[in-house]
Amino acid sequence: MQQCLGEAMRSLHDCAVEMVLREREEPGNGALGALTVVRDEDGTGFSDEELVSTVLLTAIAGYESTVVQIGNGFLAMFRHPEQMEHLKRGRTDIAAAVEEILRYAQSSTGFAGMTYAMADVELGSVTVPAGATVFVSLDSAARDEAHVDSPQRFELSRGSARHHVTFGSGHHYRA
């Protein structure tokens, strides 16, 4: 198994190297092409190694989050058979169901990773000083009672697109 995984990773790495070299020669209109030509104020750009790492991260993270999200969504539906029955019988809008699955059955570990406060921030009665290490719980945004009625309840008809940050900000974030 390990040998198979190692071979697959080497193959994926080789594909990423090939993509970077091809984009270096003739940048395309995609994200990788744009990254090959971007430069800092001092004229330096991304190294081939950095670009290969970016390609690998994008490929692996995109696959993993999708697979885990689908699995978590099915698990939530199996644990709430009445909700699955509403969906099967057409009593729930598919788009609303997808948004609720994204809100309730998030694929993340719950943390966005480590970040740092850019300035002093007041949170309740606590001041987070500038430069402090901060761990952000993405799952808590989907469970905030100020934004979601009965947030611990799984309800496919809820359609809570603006109350989750499963994909960060952007299209799925509506204030």
What is the structure's pLDDT at 46? Answer: 94
By mean pLDDT, which of 8-12, 51-55, 117-121, 160-164 is the weakest? 160-164
Put residue 49 in one of left, alpha, beta given phi > 0 → left and psi -120 to 50 → alpha.
alpha
> What confidence tier does 169 reach under pLDDT thresholds 50, 70, 90?
low
Separation of alpha carbons 138 and 115, rounded Å: 13
What is the structure's pLDDT at 174? Answer: 45
3-state SS of the chain is CHHHHHHHHHHHHHHHHHHHHHHHHCCCCCHHHHHHHCCCCCCCCCCHHHHHHHHHHHHHHHHHHHHHHHHHHHHHHHHCHHHHHHHHCCCCCHHHHHHHHHHHCCCCCCEEEEEECCCCEEECCEEECCCCEEEEEHHHHHCCCCCCCCCCCCCHHHCCHHHCCCCCCCCCCCC
Segment 76-104 mean pLDDT: 91
What is the structure's pLDDT at 138? Answer: 67
pLDDT of 159 > 60? The answer is yes
A 10 A CB-CB count for 141 gives 19
Separation of alpha carbons 68 and 66, rounded Å: 6
What is the structure's pLDDT at 78? Answer: 96
Distances (CA, A) of 65 to 9, 25, 58, 137, 156: 18, 32, 11, 17, 20
